[in-house]
Structures are given as C-alpha cells and as structure tokens.
Amino acid sequence: MVSEINSSLEMIENRQALELLIDRFLQVEGFASQETLTASSQSADLDLKIALLSFLLEELRYERDQDGESVTFEEYVRCRVATSHGAIVISPPEEFESVGSGTAPIQLQSPLLIFLLLHHRERYPVLDIIQQFIEKIRPQLTFLDFKKTRTGVTRCFTNTRFAAHVLRDYGLLKFTYREAYKTWELSLMGFLVASAILKSPSRQANPWTISPLHKEANFDLVREIRSAYDQIADYEAFVGRLASLCQSNARVFQTFEPALRKAYVILGDYWATLKNSSLTQKARKDASRESIKRLEQEGINDKFYEELSSCIKNSDELGKSQK
C-alpha cells in the first residue's frame, strides 16, 4: 500500500509515514543530546536524525561537485511524495504549473512595523530581529518562503531585509550608521504608522496577519501604510496618536512641543507626497529623505527619540491599550 505525502507535508498522517521511514533506516549514536531522551521526547531524536541527514546530503552534493540543479525548488514543490514498500517515491505532476515565489516583501511591511513597535526597547541586532520576526509570522508562511537562494540565505530572511530597506527608504525606519547596519528602529513616521496598524480592527485577533498581495502600479508601500495618517486631522490628534503609545506621565510632548508642532506641518506634506500616484517611486523616496532632513533640523533628533523611547509602554501594555 502506498502512503502519499503531499509536497508541503501538511497532512500529519502522511508526514508521519516519511518520519517513520527516516526513523527506521537512519541510526545515530553517541550524541550528547540523546543521553537525556525519554519516551516522551522521541521527536527530539527524530529532529537530530533529520538535521544530520540534511547535512549528509549537503556534503554529498559538495563531494559530487553538484553545483547545478537537476530539479528546481519550485518543481519539487509540485511533486508527489509517497512511501511504498520501505522506499521514498517522488514523482512529478502531469503538468508543472507556476507555484509563485512565496510571500512578497511588500506583504511583510505592516507586520514588521508592528514587531519593531512591540520590541522597541530590546534594540535587537538585525539578524535577531529577522529570526524572531519570522517565528511570529511562520504559521502564515509556506514552504516556498523557506527556499534557499544561491547564496545560502533563506528566501523569507531576504524578503524581510527587502521590506526593511523599502521602509527605510521612505523614512519609516531611522537611518543612521547604527540603525542602518546594526539594528532597525522606528522613526517618528514609523511610530505613527505602527500605532495605526496595531489599532486597526483587522489586527485585533492577530497583529501578525499577512494581508493578501494587491499589486498597485507605481506604489511599493502597502495601502495600509499610505493611509495610516488619514485620521489625523489636527495637532491634537497627531500628539494623541503618539501619546497612546506612552506611559501617562510622559513629558516628551511638553519638552519637545515646539519641534512636534513643526513636525506636524512637515508630516502633512510627507503623507501627501506618499499618496501621490502621479509621482514616480524615486520622486517619493527623494521627497521622503528631504522630509527626514527637515524633521531633524526642527528638533526631531536623537534626544527626542531617546526620550520618546524611554516612555513608550512595553509590549504587553501596548497590546492591551490598542484594543
């Protein structure tokens, strides 16, 4: 009897057929992690076997000098995988159809802003940000998102970097030597957008929701970001949006009131440019950089960000207050 396993191994009973086969035919001995295994932790033993088998196959590819691809990742995803008479059987579909390329970088923009808001105090290095962010959104990703590129980097890691670069190009992330190369931190615009997204009804059940891909000509920021300022009609609403992120005793709005009043005017122009479909992407990015310079000149500087960051609520408090 043949037990089929779909290409993404999503059906647990079919996945188990392959797991049992690997567990039966691959024996490992002498690893320290095995010494503490109990009957209830046999899955850890299987994890070890799968990890070693993966390394073994990579080494075999190296020894055989196998640089090219006999079959592409996308072709494999469409194959039928089964176990039959103690063997693994992989067969192609009758016709290969496009399976796409996984989650697009633009789809990661909103959840990435939320992650950076909720973890603003940690100031993780970029690699840690990516790893922890991927863990948050992993249930929504597919096997296609974990394809490794020719440089050995996983696709979803690369796409997260692309998403961050676009956010930075539009001024939603700070851009200094420290932020650009060692960590990602929200700018004033980033805080305003992240707060609006986190507060939106569609994010109440799951703030990490990845929205469907809607391609819009001439825009490389999602509509959710471009419309995040729509509800801010006056200076009080502007400060109120920021204050909703902060502890009740925050003094930053009094200390930096002159700078914030000027920032409110600048940001009106900034968002008008961001939504202007008649401009090219390059023109909008150039205008965004100019807005950042104007904000810095008016006092939205490192001292402002230090004081703002020090009074922002922790992740649990933010999650509760935005509901």
- Bigger pLDDT: 101 vs 135: 135
Residue 250 near residue 243 (C-beta atoms within 8 A): yes
Q: Of all residues in the chain, what percent carry a pLDDT higher than 70?
A: 87
Give the model's pLDDT for residue 157: 95
CA dihedral 95, 99, 100, 102 (to 10 degrees): -160
pLDDT digits (tens, 9 = 90+) for 236-280: 999 999 999 999 989 999 999 999 999 999 999 999 999 999 999
pLDDT digits (tens, 9 = 90+) for 15-74: 788 888 888 888 888 886 555 555 556 677 888 888 898 888 888 887 888 777 777 777
User: Which residue has 């109990």 as its token pair?
Assistant: 38
Give the model's pLDDT for residue 285: 94
Q: What is the 3-state secondary structure (H, E, C) of the chain?
A: CCEEECCCCCCHHHHHHHHHHHHHHCCCCCCHHHCCCCHHHHHHHHHHHHHHHHHHHHHHHHHCCCCCCCCCHHHHHCCEEEEECCEEEEECCCCCCCCCCCCCHHHHHHHHHHHHHHCCCCCCCHHHHHHHHHHHHHHHCCHHHHCECCCCCEHHHHHHHHHHHHHHHCCCECCCHHHHHCCCCECHHHHHHHHHHHHCHHHCCCCCCCCCCCCCCCCCCCHHHHCCCCCCCCHHHHHHHHHCCECCCCCHHHHCHHHHHHHHHHHHHHHHHHCCCCCCHHHHHHHHHHHHHHHHHCCCCHHHHHHHHHHECCHHHHHHHCC
Give the model's pLDDT for residue 222: 93
Best CA proximity match to 197, nearest among 138, 259, 241, 258 = 241
Q: Confidence band (pLDDT; 50, 70, 90) for 11?
A: very low
The phi and psi torsions of 79 (rounded to 5 degrees) equal -75, 160
Give the model's pLDDT for residue 99: 59
Q: Confidence band (pLDDT; 50, 70, 90) for 204?
A: confident
Q: How many CA atoms lie within 13 A of 34 on its CB side?
A: 9
For the chain, give the number of residues: 323
Which of 89-98, 129-138, 268-277, 302-311 has the weakest average pLDDT?
89-98
